[in-house]
Copies of this chain bind each other. A is one copy, B any other.
Amino acid sequence: MNQSLRPDKAALVELFRDFIEPQYVINDEETQKPFECDGLSVYCDMPLITVLPKTVEQVCEVMRICYRYQIPVVARGAGTGLCAGAMPNPDGVLLVLSRFKHILDIDPLARSARLQPGVRNLAISEAASPYGLYYGPDPSSQIACSIGGNVAENSGGVHCLKYGLTTHNLLKIEMVTVEGELITIGSEGLDSNGFDLMALITGSEGLLGVITEVTVKLLPSPEKAQVIMAGFDNVQTAGDAVGGVIAKGIIPAGLEMMDSPAIIAAEAFAHAGYPTDAQALLLCELDGSEAEVQEQIAEVEQLFIELGATTTRVSQSEAERALLWKGRKSAFPAVGRISPDYYCMDGTIPRSQLAHVLTEMQKLSEQYGLRVANVFHAGDGNLHPLILFDANVPGELERTEEFGSRILELCVKVGGCITGEHGVGVEKIRQMTIQFNDQELTQFHAIKHAFDPIGTLNPGKGIPVLKRCQEYRTLDRPQHKHDSQPQQGDLA
């Protein structure tokens, strides 16, 4: 019952084919090739064996076999992730959940949907639409990404400012443990007792179990949505305007910002009518009842003008609203046209630090001699700096990675964190040592051990081993957050 008795690859394939149709147990290189990486294609590897079970019982049995022989298991949804969280393990099984694609139930009264993990994000809203409902979180990849992956990475999107991340929109999860047992987390009611493990599982990147069913909350489709676009002649003013909207007590459905390089690239691509001479552009969507939207659009427009907007424009039709968003939504491919390569970062900062971080990032850009375009969820403080580089110029990829690390460290320094919605995976595992101290990482390892005592669930992702930490921290890097004394006011 230990690894020394582990069957060889051919015997394992036979074991799996005992209960999964043979064509869904894959071990040849060619058929496994499409699974070698996720959306962040710089990190790739080939799995030992790929299995595509169809039932929860089959998942349990795969897990039992892997547990018995201590074989690593990496779960994979649609493979659209951006942190190499689903990168295969060369010594392990890749457990692909794409056959779990059924919507099991839509309950309009409870406003919930019970889903298999392979259901596409957008398919949920499409199925809920006849009831006047939709699913809130909308990652850019929503046409392709699946709900199981959304849970594993705690995905975000434009609408998360108002409606929350994936973690805020879940009711219940069914999960298979490393031992192959099915457990239920959460409930269909508003609360559940016992330890609340829902948020712990959400965003845990396949390190704690394999999700086999997800029940999400649905939201009523708003009666009306309108978008206001505003141009500013510097990023500082635009950053302040973001804070101004929130301080007014208005929570927009989306509040997005682009800087000059992004505006120019997006406009050339989408012809949305963006002011190409602006240094910063805000897109602010408001939704709700007719009366509410009308009132808030007027309030936000006036605020933008007072705070120094050089241009404003309010969508007067659904077509115009779609056009204004088109530029934003195509900003990544648009930037791809003006640079041979780009590296998309993902960090989150307190909203109040927006202008400061953008200014610092500009200094770093000059220091590293690399251009950066910013397209991001400003209302959330979730930045997506795109570093423009040319992988064919020797040393430029390395300089880009270092520039990226500096940006993430800057996020931590101002009280934010190294990811907003893309996850840690393989990509940001080193920066975890800057974000957390040894006590906190030890706590994470204890939690990991509580779910996965043999350490076979997605090994090498998410949480760094402690001995790596000192090495990385002692490089020439800014002070760890815990080293500085916090300032404490005392109002009582």
Q: Which residues of B contact A462 (CB under 8 A)?
A: 194
Assess the B165–A191 pair: CB atoms within 8 A: yes
Say how far A154's CB is from chain B's closest CB, in angstroms. 7
Residues of A445-492 at the interface with B, using a CB-CB cut-off of 8 Å, are 446-451, 462-463, 482, 488-492
Nearest residue (CB) in B for A221 is: B249
A103 part of interface (Cβ distance < 8 Å): yes
Nearest residue (CB) in B for A416 is: B189
Q: How large is the interface on A (under 10, 10 to 19, 20 to 34, 35 or more residues)?
A: 35 or more
Q: A119-B492, A204-B195, A288-B292 are in contact. Are A349 and B189 (CB under 8 A)?
A: yes
Give complex CA distance A417, B192 in Å. Answer: 6
For the complex, would chain A's binding face be called helix, strand, loop or mixed by DSSP majority? Answer: loop
Residues of A100-119 at the interface with B, using a CB-CB cut-off of 8 Å, are 101-111, 119
Assess the A190–B491 pair: CB atoms within 8 A: no
Assess the B420–A197 pair: CB atoms within 8 A: no
Assess the B381–A189 pair: CB atoms within 8 A: yes
Residues of A429-458 at the interface with B, using a CB-CB cut-off of 8 Å, are 432, 435-437, 439-440, 443-444, 446-451
Residues of A392-451 at the interface with B, using a CB-CB cut-off of 8 Å, are 415-421, 423-424, 428, 432, 435-437, 439-440, 443-444, 446-451
Assess the B104–A417 pair: CB atoms within 8 A: no
Q: Which residues of B contact A168 (CB under 8 A)?
A: 168
Contact partner of A194 (CB less than 8 A), chosen from B193, B436, B439, B489, is B436
Assess the B191–A421 pair: CB atoms within 8 A: yes
Say how far A281's CB is from chain B's closest CB, in angstroms. 21
Nearest residue (CB) in B for A219 is: B249
Contact stretch, chosen from A135-143, A179-187, A323-331: A179-187
Assess the A488–B191 pair: CB atoms within 8 A: no
Q: Which residues of B contact A194 (CB under 8 A)?
A: 424, 432, 435-436, 440, 444, 462-463
A8 part of interface (Cβ distance < 8 Å): no
Q: A194-B463, A381-B189, A450-B446 are in contact. Are A352 and B492 (CB under 8 A)?
A: no
Assess the A348–B417 pair: CB atoms within 8 A: no
Assess the B109–A246 pair: CB atoms within 8 A: yes
Q: Which residues of B contact A435 (CB under 8 A)?
A: 193-194
Nearest residue (CB) in B for A441 is: B194
| A to B CB contacts below 8 Å, 18 in the list | A103-B491, A108-B247, A109-B352, A110-B351, A127-B492, A160-B190, A183-B437, A187-B416, A188-B350, A189-B381, A189-B420, A191-B417, A194-B424, A194-B435, A199-B200, A289-B295, A443-B450, A449-B450
- Name the 6 nearest CB pairs between A and B, nearest first: A220-B249, A291-B291, A199-B199, A446-B450, A102-B492, A450-B450
